[in-house]
Structure 1
Amino acid sequence: MVNTNELASLARLDGMAQAELCARGEVSADELFDACLARIDALNPLLRPVVTVARERPRPAGSGPFSGVPFLVKDSTPWPGLRWSMGSRLFAAHVTQQQTPYGRRLEQSGLVCAGKSAMSEFGLLASTETLLEGVTHNPWNLACSATGSSGGSAVAVAAGLVPLAHANDGGGSLRIPASACGLFGFKPSRGRTVPASFASSDFGDMTSDHCISRSVRDSALFLSITEDRSSDAPVGFVRDPIARKLRIAAWTRTVMGEEPEPKVRRAYDEAVALLIELGHEVEPITPPLFDGPALGDAFFLVSGAAVSDVIEKIDQTRDEPVQQGELEPFTWALVETYLARGSDALPWARAAFARAVRAYDEATRGYDVVLTPTIATEPWRIGHLSPIFGREELLRRTGRALGYTPIQNIAGCPGMSVPLHFPEDGPPIGTHFAAAPGADALLLGLAYQLEQARPWKERWAPYSIPALF
């Protein structure tokens, strides 16, 4: 039986600190796992970030740098013996024995999977509220969304259930929940890591797998474990803050041509002041000129194409085709829109992406880093991005809030949301940084510097294990 003092003391430690305790023999891997399950049992009924709990004792952990540390896998990714639903009723009972190359790296590092984290259906919406699993609540304000699609992972870390959690990012799906939950969220460059899935699609090509963490060092170590070492200039384990002055391009206008809400603007202005204080050169520039509506249509066309491929594969394995009621209304609408566009849908979307990348590259050439808000609004209330709304309304609401992060997926750039702003009257507001493809180490070095300047380690949500126990 784990007592409440142990629950809180272990919850305060990041993954590397837990692994160090285990390596010194001060705590066993079994004790770390039992404490993790106790924390999940304590808060999962309230917050609902974990959709499948691995109750059985895990195999002995690998002898890597995270040996014995419990973590969660986003339900977008298979894990042997655990349900793999992708947030969809279509796969509600699906259990897999598959392990990906990415998962094997995590096992070898010593990480111990304690379960699967909640997500939106197929990761399509920036909310974590599905018709299959229900609502995942933000531990900073239970009426607020955890955002998404990696909302379960972010909430589990923010609540102290696990020190870090796997997540992935196809348009901000990792960085946005990290912002809303006061955590560090890093998206690697395209192709930086080994494969985390067995399927291939335009949407999958935009998606990067990584983790949401409380500390920068956990994220940097996680990347060193999962990176493709055959790629040009592997990052390795970045350990130190950046030691040089950076030239930073900055803007606040969204892809749709709108300005952020006042609280978001204040968070951004504070970040600019901090960067100048640290000796960096911050230069406000004219944002890239994007065709926002076309870019939004292209993004959701490739999303609809990916789901359409899934439906086609399922139809080939059973007598009855996939029915409309097996998918959420928004998901079904995306598929219908994609199919109605005909054979030119993907070529048109790819051309729209190529134009956007050219505009982004031209505007940011010569700069080390790009600074923007992570999201344009405060974290929204539960229900604001419910999948039962119509396609057009959800696209409008999504376009208003998510006006900064998708371009890094399209361009293959690394990006990160850093928790620098914690208002007294609402959830945290992250600040977003991006760099050129392959400049992952530079961004992580900047993250270490920001973490030292404005430590966030002890910023715990009201509905978290350290705050409640």
Structure 2
Amino acid sequence: MNGAFTIGRMSISADEYRSWDAVEMARLVRSGQVTPAELADAARALMAERSDLGAVAAHAPATPPADVPPPGPAGPLAGVPFAVKELIGWPGLPWTFGSRLFAGHRTEEYSPYAARIRDAGLQVLGSTTSSEFGLLGSTETALHGVTGNPWRVGVSAGGSSGGSAALVAAGVLPMAHGDDAGGSLRVPAALTGVVGFKPTNQRPTPVGPEMPGLGRLVVEHCISRTVRDSAAFLAATERTGADAVHPPVGVVRGPARDRLRIAVLGATLMGAAPHPAVARELRRAADLCASLGHDVVDAAPLDVSGPALSRGFFGAAAQTMAVVAASVTPLLGRPPGPEELEPFTLELIEWGATLGPDEDAVRAAAFADGTRAYLRLFERADVVLSPTVARPPWPVGHLSPDAGREVLIRRTEEAVGYTPIHNMSSCPGMSLPLGQDDGLPVGMHIAARPGADALLLALAYELEQAAPWPAAPWPGGA
């Protein structure tokens, strides 16, 4: 679909459509140059063209059911095509959590967070694929199959928000929903060369009741190609009323003049050095920050117990899955088995059952120790710069759910060794596509102290302007 197709009074190419970000699309709608229906038609055509990515979990009907309220006609992003990750319920779409266990499950109500998406005026055209219950850093499921990376066949799009990242990177949508409990938004953004922002914990409207285990770590936001889209989406979905935990950010519109102290963190939470190619791109990013006038210094490795943090994180995941399994056992008449759950999920539940009664306290202590160590970096710095992941994009199968629990946890510790601490500490963090290796994206990560989302967005704007990132090579395009 590289030929021309007509939108409004303009005949444009598919590449021109892909060049518009969400803010620009919303402007075109407001000015009457395009209609929401025309944008939706274009997005659906591109979804069909890139069905090879395996990124769409379900398509919304072209004519929504009568009981599904339309998007907000005057919202700040009115008319912009969008998709929600299948971990969130959306009326008119299956709510599967990426699992055969919930195949066919639906909701008819908007959660508070889904309502903010609706009221922003976004057109939800479907749901995007996730790893089962968002547990793994690659989107490969028994329910939907493999979600591919637009940059290269056979390379993972990451996870758990892999479907959203793939669609955005391929230019199908300007942005798409994701959530993040330990990197599930930022990791796929890094692997597909787009922007992934995790706001300060509890800044966005919560998606629903907090689940035991991982619940308090989960933060909702979007994956986008531009910083301004991420900023606009935050302004549209953050809490602004009496329930706001932090003062609202509003719309951050560009760089700030203040020069920052930036600490460069090379070692992972496990105390390991990143892949040499990633280390090289980290140094290039640090040099870029210094060239812009920021005060850049190297930070010592964090004084944390990586194994304790990892055990705490996966123990929390096991607790969450045990609750899910227990909730459906009466309906099935038995505990869910391999017909409903993937091997990793089942192994995680089994392992979790062996943990002692003091596990919650041990986990809380590990997270508290990790938080204190990480926040100490901000006593002398405004921003921490690190890689997003410790290695270049991995092949499909590297984090497949049938690889075995011990192997998968070890591989996750090796690759996803930076992002979980931001969920534990509530720090906002953002992956930016500032690097490349062998033609594949290498994401760089910036983080700030809790509540400093505006500072982080302003720096991201500056880096985007100083070193514009390339687009994924779509068919017939770049």
Give the counterpart letter for 1:294 in structure 2.
Answer: A
Q: Is the 8 A contact 1:51 1:116 kept in 2?
A: yes
Give the counterpart letter for 2:225 in structure 1.
R
Matched, 1:281 2:295: yes
Give, in whole Å, the separation in 1 of the partners of 2:110 and 2:329. Answer: 24
Matched, 1:258 2:272: yes
Taking structure 1 as reference, are residues 464 and 181 closer, same or farther at Cα in structure 2, changes over 3 Å only? farther
Q: Which runs of 5+ in 2 are unaligned?
A: 6-11
Using the alignment, how far apart are the partners of 2:246 and 2:318 within structure 1? 32
The whole-number CA distance in structure 1 between the counterparts of 2:29 and 2:118 is 16
Q: How does 1:31-110 map to 2 (within 5 A)?
A: 31-44=38-51, 46-58=52-64, 60-62=70-72, 63-110=74-121
Q: For 1:233 and 1:8, how far apart are their aligned partners in 2?
A: 39
The amino acid that maps onto 2:294 is: H
Tell me the distance in 2 between the aligned counterparts of 1:395 and 1:422. Answer: 26
Q: Which runs of 5+ in 1 are unaligned?
A: none
1:155 lines up with 2:161 in the alignment: no
Whether 2:419 is the aligned partner of 1:412: answer: no
Following the alignment from structure 1 to structure 2, what is the Cα–Cα distance between the partners of residues 201 and 261? 35
Distance 2:211 2:379 in 1: 30
Cα shift readout 1:249-301 (whole Å, capped 9, x = no counterpart): 11211111111111111110110110000000111021211111111111000
SS in 2 for 1:356: helix
Which residue of 2 is the match for residue 441 of structure 1?
454
Could you list the runs of 4 or more consecutive aligned residues of structure 1 that deviate by over 4 angstroms after TM superposition? 1-6, 464-467
- Secondary structure at the counterpart of residue 371 of structure 2: helix
The question of 1:170 aligning with 2:157 is answered: no
1:126 aligns with 2:130: no
Describe the shift of the 1:215–1:463 C-alpha distance in structure 2 as closer, same or farther (beyond 3 A): same
For normalisation by structure 1, the TM-score amounts to 0.96
CA apart distance, 1:338:
1.1
Corresponding residue to 2:359 among 323, 345, 355: 345
CA displacement 1:309-340 (0-9 Å, x = unmatched): 11111124443332243111111111111111
> Structure 1 residue 16 and structure 2 residue 20: aligned?
no
State the alpha-carbon separation in 1 of the partners of residues 455 and 110 from structure 2.
Answer: 31
Distance 1:422 1:340 in 2: 42
User: In the alignment, does 2:207 pair up with 1:189?
Assistant: no
State the 1:6 CA deviation: 4.2
Secondary structure at 1:202 match in 2: coil
Return the letter of the residue paired with 2:201: R
| Residues 465 and 346 of structure 1: CA distance in aligned 2, closer, same or farther (over 3 Å) | farther
Q: Distance in 2 between matches of 1:416 and 1:167?
A: 13
Inter-partner Cα distance in structure 2 for 1:116 and 1:408: 26
Q: Is the 8 A contact 2:271 2:301 kept in 1?
A: no
Secondary structure at the residue paired with 2:247?
A: coil
Whether the aligned pair in 1 keeps the contact of 2:261 and 2:295 (CA below 8 Å) is yes
Distance of 2:289 and 2:476 partners within structure 1: 32
CA distance 1:264–1:336, change in 2 (3 Å): same
Matched, 1:115 2:121: no
Q: Is the 8 A contact 1:65 1:110 kept in 2?
A: yes
Identity of matched residues, %: 47
> What is the match of residue 454 of structure 1?
467
Choose between structure 1 and 2 for higher RCO, CA contacts under 8 A separated by at least 6 residues: 1
Secondary structure at the aligned position of 1:231 is classed as coil
* Cα displacement (A) at 1:197: 2.6
Letter in 2 for 1:264: V
Counterpart CA distance in 1 for 2:120 and 2:238 is 12
Query: When the two structures are aligned, how many residues end up with a matched partner?
Result: 463
User: Normalised by the size of structure 2, how large is the TM-score?
Assistant: 0.94
- Report the CA distance between 1:462 and its aligned residue: 2.0
In structure 2, what is the Cα distance between the partners aligned to 1:61 and 1:313? 33
- Corresponding residue for residue 234 of structure 2: 223
Tell me by how many angstroms 1:56 deviates.
2.2
Name the aligned partner's letter for residue 461 of structure 2. Answer: Y
Residue correspondence of structure 1 range 311-326 to structure 2 within 5 A: 311-326=325-340
Q: Which amino acid aligns with 1:340?
A: T
- Counterpart Cα distance in 1 of 2:153 and 2:55: 12
Quote the offset at 1:466 in angstroms: 4.5
SS in 2 for 1:340: coil
CA spacing shift, 1:20–1:363, aligned 2, 3 Å: closer
CA RMSD of aligned residues (A): 1.6
Q: Which amino acid aligns with 2:239?
A: D
The answer (yes or no) to whether the contact 2:377–2:384 under 8 Å persists in 1 is no
Further displaced range: 362-371 or 441-450: 362-371
